[in-house]
């Protein structure tokens, strides 16, 4: 069975109603990223950070997977599929995808500020100042903030290095280290980049650019792959 590795970014969830931030005014739902998604923001105003992620979590339960998420699930009929996502939403899981690795954490989980290995499923619950882990320290969102290490980057690079086919969907390729993952793909693997702003990627061979929204571009490429065509 051929292995398809899929790297997704905020753009795949845009048509579900979850905003990306690089598309618009550089703000994320009216906030500067530095004010809500950095360790410095947490030290300065933890309540604002918790409120921001509480709102993102609440919104997640008001939206649904779109045709792009659903199409990726269909690939499992014929391929060994691994999704690696920068997204903190759970729309791939809710579309039924079996193998999803989150690089930047997950809105529906919280973790201890004392021991990062203590991670808790919280579903749609709001986190508040005073919510504590079993060791008695404040809980924070289980999110990799800008400026923090990305613990899943090494397993992700290993997965990409085994790809027969690589799909890159809805990402500006500006957020590192995630943006460097495609360079681990074997040179001769077939590659697709589906994003309305997609441009050629220097030094990446066998790349087909699909300058289209995920909601239409992904189902089309998936159908072609399932039919055994080259997807172009
Ligand atoms: P990003 O850097 O991946 O850029 C967004 C990309 O989506 C752009 O290239 C844009 O052209 C593309 N796009 C917009 N609409 C699209 C569509 N309909 N179909 C396909 N592509 C489309 O992402 P970002 O918004 O700059 O966010 C950076 C980080 O912030 C993420 O890696 C993530 O950790 C976090 N974030 C997560 C979510 C989420 O979980 N849904 C949303 C916003 C931000």
Sequential DSSP letters for 21-42: STTTTS-BTTB-HHHHSSHHHH
Mean pLDDT of the chain: 94
Q: Strands 80-85 and 3-8, how do they pair?
A: parallel
Using alpha carbons, list the distances in angstroms from residue 175 to 44, 77, 93, 160, 197.
24, 31, 23, 17, 15
- Pocket probe for ligand 1: among 9, 71, 177, 192, the residue whose CB has the most ligand atoms within 8 Å is 9
Which whole number is the average pLDDT over 149-177? 95
Residue 132: which of 148, 112, 152, 146 has the closest Cα?
112
List the domain boundaries for the chain: 1-18+63-104+144-232
pLDDT tens digits along 53-102? 999 999 999 999 999 999 999 999 999 999 999 999 999 999 999 999 99
Is pLDDT above 60 for 21?
yes
Tell me the pLDDT band of 202, cut-offs 50, 70 and 90.
confident
Nearest protein CA to atom 14 of ligand 1, as residue: 11
Within 13 Å, how many C-alpha atoms sit on residue 61's CB side?
A: 12
Using alpha carbons, list the distances in angstroms from residue 151 to 11, 45, 144, 148.
23, 25, 9, 9
1-18+63-104+144-232 maps to which CATH number? 3.40.50.1220
Q: Is 106 helix (H, G, I), strand (E, B) or coil?
A: strand
| pLDDT for residue 174 | 85
| pLDDT for residue 132 | 98
Residue 137 CA to ligand 1 centre (angstroms): 32
Is pLDDT above 70 for 225?
yes
Query: Residues lining ligand 1, judged by CB closer than 6 Å?
Result: 9-11, 13-15, 18, 20-23, 86-89, 104, 170-172, 174-175, 195-197, 213-214
How far is it, in rounded angstroms, from Cα 46 to Cα 33?
14
- Pocket probe for ligand 1: among 6, 11, 59, the residue whose CB has the most ligand atoms within 8 Å is 11
The tokens describing 113, both together, are 């500020």
Is pLDDT above 80 for 26?
no
Active site residue 104: yes
Question: pTM of the full predicted structure?
Answer: 0.95
Q: Is 54 exposed, middle or buried (0-12, 13-18, 19+ CB in 10 A)?
A: middle
Which is higher by pLDDT, 175 or 38? 38
């Amino acid at each position: 069975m051929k292995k398809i590795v899929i790297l997704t970014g905020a753009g795949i969830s845009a048509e579900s109603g979850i905003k990306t931030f690089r598309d618009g005014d550089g703000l994320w739902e009216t906030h500067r990223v530095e004010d809500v998604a950095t360790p410095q923001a947490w030290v300065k105003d933890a309540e604002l950070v918790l409120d921001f992620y509480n709102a993102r979590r609440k919104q997640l339960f008001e939206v649904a997977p779109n045709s792009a998420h659903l199409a990726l699930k269909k690939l499992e009929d014929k391929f060994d599929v691994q999704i690696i996502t920068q997204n903190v939403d759970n729309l791939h899981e809710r579309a039924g995808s079996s193998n999803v690795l989150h690089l930047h954490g997950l809105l529906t989980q919280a973790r201890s500020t004392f021991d990062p290995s203590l991670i808790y499923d919280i579903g749609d619950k709001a986190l508040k100042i005073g919510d504590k882990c079993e060791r008695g320290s404040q809980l924070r969102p289980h999110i990799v903030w800008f400026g923090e290490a990305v613990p899943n980057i090494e397993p992700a690079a290993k997965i990409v290095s085994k790809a027969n086919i690589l799909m890159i969907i809805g990402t500006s390729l500006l957020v590192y280290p995630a943006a460097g993952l495609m360079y681990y793909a074997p040179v001769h693997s077939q590659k697709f980049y589906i994003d309305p702003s997609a441009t050629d990627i220097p030094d990446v061979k066998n790349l087909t650019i699909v300058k289209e929204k995920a909601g239409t571009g992904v189902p089309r490429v998936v159908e072609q792959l399932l039919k055994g065509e080259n997807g172009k």
